[in-house]
């Protein structure tokens, strides 16, 4: 039983129906918003000492909404849940405001809780090696299988973004090349080492590719000879995921995360990894420090003079 009068409950029901019919919100979101507003009305009834009316919603202050969020935080709600609570309440209040029933300015004055940074989900070393192997590729056309392997090897072996790998021209790979000049975000140029295994994967693709690879044009080609599109590699990675039993987090971009994580786990310093990834800020790279904390603690225990 929701402690609110019939008028307010009727407006709430109409709001939820409008979200489903007009905005086509997913069922999960509708259920969450129904639960969030129910919990809020239950919380508010404790403040007003009885059934909540539209006049109580009209009189809402930012402090009331902050009190509800603090109450839910005490119950164990995390930042994402609190952010959804606030989004649902704002939506409901704006709906009532459009009907001339309340003023929703108070809800807009509250900042959404700061969301925690999502840590990348890298593949293990053995998983990454399997994914980039030419023998693992799903396409039966040899040159396409070699192409896919070469692209994936660039992502894992050099830490490239998929757009960076697909933008490389043939002349980037000269005989005895030991490094690549990569153009990243904002046109920023960086140099990354080219491992022999990466050069070999590219060389196999070039040998098998049936199309003329013109200088200044993209090295990697689609089945009909045009520039290879990222969606093709993403689809192939999806097929590999299914065949190898890998989680949904195993995407082409996860290979770039794996490159950084495995370097860090082997003792690579964060500043160098920042340069290799082409991050403008070290703080962007620091997200990887949370991935292999056991390795960092081990280094600390062995190296810090006060660790013993």
pLDDT given at position 177: 84
User: Considering only 113-117, 166-170, 248-252, which range has the smallest mean pLDDT?
Assistant: 113-117
- The residues that are catalytic are 161, 185, 253, 256, 279, 288
Q: Is the pLDDT of residue 140 over 70?
A: yes
Angle at 269 between CA 264 and CA 275, to 5 degrees: 100
CA 157/CA 132 separation, integer angstroms: 9
Measuring CA to CA, how many Å separate 138 from each of 60, 145, 148, 165, 176? 59, 7, 9, 20, 30
- Number of Cβ within 10 Å of residue 119's Cβ equals 13
Residue 181 is classified by DSSP as E
**Whether the Cβ atoms of residue 166 and residue 218 lie closer than 8 Å to each other:** yes
- Number of Cβ within 10 Å of residue 104's Cβ equals 20
| Category of 16 on φ-ψ map: left (φ > 0), alpha (ψ -120 to 50) or beta | alpha
**In the structure, what pLDDT confidence band is assigned to residue 77 with cuts at 50, 70 and 90?**
confident
Q: Is the pLDDT of residue 115 over 80?
A: no
Share of the chain above pLDDT 90, in %: 49
pLDDT given at position 171: 94
**Among the four given CATH numbers 1.10.3720.10, 1.20.120.160, 1.10.150.130, 3.20.20.100, the one describing domain 6-108:** 1.10.150.130
- Number of Cβ within 10 Å of residue 19's Cβ equals 20
CA 220/CA 73 separation, integer angstroms: 50
Rg from Cα positions in the chain? 27
Q: Is the pLDDT of residue 307 over 60?
A: no
Q: Tell me if residue 277 falls in helix, strand or coil.
A: helix
Q: Which helix (H) or strand (E) holds 288?
A: none
CATH 1.20.58.740 fits 125-253, yes or no: no
User: Considering only 41-50, 58-67, 156-165, 291-300, which range has the smallest mean pLDDT?
Assistant: 291-300
Residue 52 is classified by DSSP as B
Identical fold, 6-108 and 125-253: no
pLDDT given at position 79: 81
Q: Tell me if residue 221 falls in helix, strand or coil.
A: strand
**Whether the Cβ atoms of residue 91 and residue 80 lie closer than 8 Å to each other:** no
Q: Is the pLDDT of residue 154 over 60?
A: yes
**Whether the Cβ atoms of residue 205 and residue 166 lie closer than 8 Å to each other:** no
pLDDT given at position 291: 46
pLDDT given at position 28: 81
pLDDT given at position 19: 86
Computed over every residue of the chain, the mean pLDDT equals: 86
pLDDT given at position 65: 87
CA 307/CA 291 separation, integer angstroms: 22
SS3 string, 105-164, reads: HHHHCCCCCCCCCCCCCCCCHHHHHHHHCHHHCCCCCHHHHHHHHHHHHHHHHHCCCHHH
Q: Does the predicted model carry a pTM greater than 0.85?
A: no
DSSP secondary structure letters along 66-86: HHHHHHHHHTT--HHHHHHHH
Domain borders along the chain are 6-108, 125-253
Q: Is the pLDDT of residue 54 over 50?
A: yes
The tens digit of pLDDT for each residue in 189-204 reads 999 999 999 999 999 9
pLDDT given at position 84: 87
pLDDT given at position 76: 86
């Amino acid at each position: 039983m929701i402690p609110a009068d019939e008028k307010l409950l009727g407006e709430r029901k109409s709001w939820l129906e409008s979200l489903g019919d007009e905005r086509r919100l997913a069922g999960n979101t509708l259920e969450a918003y129904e639960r969030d507003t129910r919990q809020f009305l239950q919380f508010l009834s404790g403040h007003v000492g009885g059934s909540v009316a539209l006049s109580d919603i009209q009189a809402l202050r930012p402090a009331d909404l902050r009190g509800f969020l603090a109450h839910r935080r005490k119950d164990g709600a995390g930042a994402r849940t609190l952010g959804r609570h606030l989004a649902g309440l704002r939506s409901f209040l704006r709906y009532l405001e459009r009907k001339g029933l309340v003023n929703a300015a108070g809800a807009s004055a509250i900042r959404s809780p700061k969301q925690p940074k999502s840590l990348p989900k890298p593949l293990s070393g053995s998983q990454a090696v399997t994914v980039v192997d030419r023998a693992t590729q799903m396409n039966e056309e040899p040159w396409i299988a070699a192409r896919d392997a070469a692209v994936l090897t660039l992502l894992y072996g050099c830490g490239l973004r998929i757009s960076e790998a697909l933008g490389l021209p043939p002349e980037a790979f000269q005989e005895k090349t030991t490094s690549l000049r990569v153009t990243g975000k904002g046109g920023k140029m960086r140099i990354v080492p080219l491992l022999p295994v990466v050069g070999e994967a590219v060389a196999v693709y070039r040998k098998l590719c049936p199309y003329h690879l013109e200088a200044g044009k993209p090295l990697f080609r689609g089945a009909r000879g045009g520039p290879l599109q990222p969606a093709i590699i993403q689809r192939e990675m999806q097929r590999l995921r299914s065949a190898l039993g890998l989680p949904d987090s195993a995407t082409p971009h996860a290979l770039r995360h794996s490159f950084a994580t495995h370097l860090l786990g082997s003792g690579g310093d964060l500043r160098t990894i920042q340069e290799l990834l082409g991050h403008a800020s070290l703080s962007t790279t620091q997200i990887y420090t949370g991935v292999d904390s056991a390795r960092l603690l081990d280094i600390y225990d062995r190296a810090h003079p006060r660790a013993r």
